[in-house]
Chains A and B, each alone.
Chain A
Amino acid sequence: ELKVEQNPLFLSMQEGKNYTIYCNYSTTSDRLYWYRQDPGKSLESLFVLLSNGAVKQEGRLMASLDTKARLSTLHITAAVHDLSATYFCAVDMWVTGKLIFGQGTTLQVKP
């Protein structure tokens, strides 16, 4: 059974600090997605990582994928309040688009 685990589940950090969210999954896959969800809102696509070693950056967020370690990271650089949200990683193991999501990491950035 494919399991996707994120840690931490909750992260409170100061503005200007750096931090990393980890996403581990239990079965081989080379397709990993990161989504952002604001309270009461839908999921917004952030990154699609499609190969080992893939790295993508958008603003203060950078995502990477290590398929051998079955690990993806979402790195936050110099956090700002606007980044406060819940971040989900999701894995597509069967190459069908059937996504298995992690539990989510709720990020709270304090001024």
Chain B
Amino acid sequence: DAGVIQSPRHEVTEMGQEVTLRCKPISGHDYLFWYRQTMMRGLELLIYFNNNVPIDDSGMPEDRFSAKMPNASFSTLKIQPSEPRDSAVYFCASSFQGSNQPQHFGDGTRLSIL
């Protein structure tokens, strides 16, 4: 079975540019999560969706970050404009019936903002 698929795997861009990260959750999963991983702060939840609806976006750092889930099989996380401090690994995860069910992670997007 295909797991959570993220693209791109790596992204290097200059500050000020728009960055779009993509995620395809596991088919049938109704919860989707975006996390950010840095050395300093570890893994932080940014936002999560249930049935394509954003439920909690309190972890989104600031207005430069936005996330959408237009359908059950696709989500995007956008940063505009990007800044060097946004450099991190961004993970997408999905789960079925979210509450207390294991979350399955993608391989992440390693983002470097120069």
Q: Do A and B bind each other?
A: no
Query: A-side interface residues toward B, CB under 8 Å?
Result: none
Query: B-side interface residues toward A, CB under 8 Å?
Result: none
